[in-house]
């Protein structure tokens, strides 16, 4: 599958601001500074589609991007950033939960974790949350270019065991820097839900 077209459609806080055209949706979620915006830009081959910030925690809305005029890639707020107030953290959690609850258009959740570190308690909670709502989950370990070849398997085992991934969950390493395996990852994340697969 090729991503030939990608465009920002809307940012939303409330349900009545979500698109209502019933296109399939694939949502990306992860802790702040995990490289979510960079991954989205890399997959779509658009340098500034999702805003990359040097300050973690800047994505505070649910952002919808239309891919190939066919389905939505949904960018959810980052979580786990320490330098925000408790009230603001709760607000982000509410925004994420509101989107996940009874969103029948949502077909898959892509959980991003940092390949260099053990998943955090927030990562574990997010994974369990997605499973609780019955969604198909794919885990992508970002920044894999920072790992030596000898560290890859150790990282994979640590992430899988910490999150307690099920046999149904797919797991991939990815680097937005070297973009190795981009086409394969696009197919694995989106092909199942796309109607235009050229």
CB atoms < 10 A from the CB of 5, how many?
Answer: 13
* pLDDT tens string 71-113: 999 999 888 765 555 655 556 578 888 898 889 999 999 999 9
Q: Does residue 45 form part of some domain?
A: yes
Q: How confident is the model at residue 6 (pLDDT cuts 50, 70, 90)?
A: very high
Q: How many independent structural domains does the chain possess?
A: 1
Domain range enclosing 93: 6-193
Q: Does residue 43 form part of some domain?
A: yes
Q: What is the CATH number of the domain that holds 174?
A: 3.40.50.300
CB atoms < 10 A from the CB of 20, how many?
Answer: 9
Token representation of residue 68: 């190939």
Predicted TM-score (pTM) of the model is 0.90
Q: How confident is the model at residue 190 (pLDDT cuts 50, 70, 90)?
A: very high
* pLDDT tens string 49-69: 987 655 444 457 899 999 999
Q: Does residue 165 form part of some domain?
A: yes
How far, in Å, CA of 84 to CA of 75, rounded? 20
Tell me which residue of 58, 54, 75 sits closest to 66, measured CA to CA: 75
Phi, psi values for residue 41, rounded to 5°:
-65, -35
Q: Does residue 198 form part of some domain?
A: no
Q: Does residue 188 form part of some domain?
A: yes
Token representation of residue 58: 């800047």
Q: Does residue 12 form part of some domain?
A: yes
Q: Does residue 141 form part of some domain?
A: yes
């Amino acid at each position: 599958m090729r991503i030939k077209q990608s465009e920002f459609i809307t940012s939303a806080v409330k349900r009545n601001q979500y698109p209502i055209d019933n296109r399939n949706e694939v949502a990306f979620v992860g802790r702040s500074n995990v490289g979510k915006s960079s991954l989205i830009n890399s997959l779509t081959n658009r340098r500034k589609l999702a805003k990359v910030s040097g300050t973690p925690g800047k994505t505070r809305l649910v952002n919808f991007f239309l891919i190939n005029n066919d389905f939505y890639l949904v960018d959810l707020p980052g979580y786990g950033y320490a330098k925000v107030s408790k009230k603001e953290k709760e607000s982000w959690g509410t925004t994420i939960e509101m989107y996940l609850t009874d969103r029948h258009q949502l077909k898959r959740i892509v959980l991003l974790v940092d390949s260099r570190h053990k998943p955090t308690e927030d990562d574990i909670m997010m994974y369990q949350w997605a499973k609780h709502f019955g969604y198909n989950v794919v885990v992508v370990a970002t920044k894999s270019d920072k790992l030596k070849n000898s560290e890859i398997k150790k990282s994979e085992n640590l992430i899988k065991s910490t999150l307690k991934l099920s046999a149904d969950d797919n797991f991939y390493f990815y680097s937005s820097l070297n973009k190795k395996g981009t086409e394969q990852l696009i197919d694995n994340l989106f092909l199942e839900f796309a109607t235009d697969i050229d």
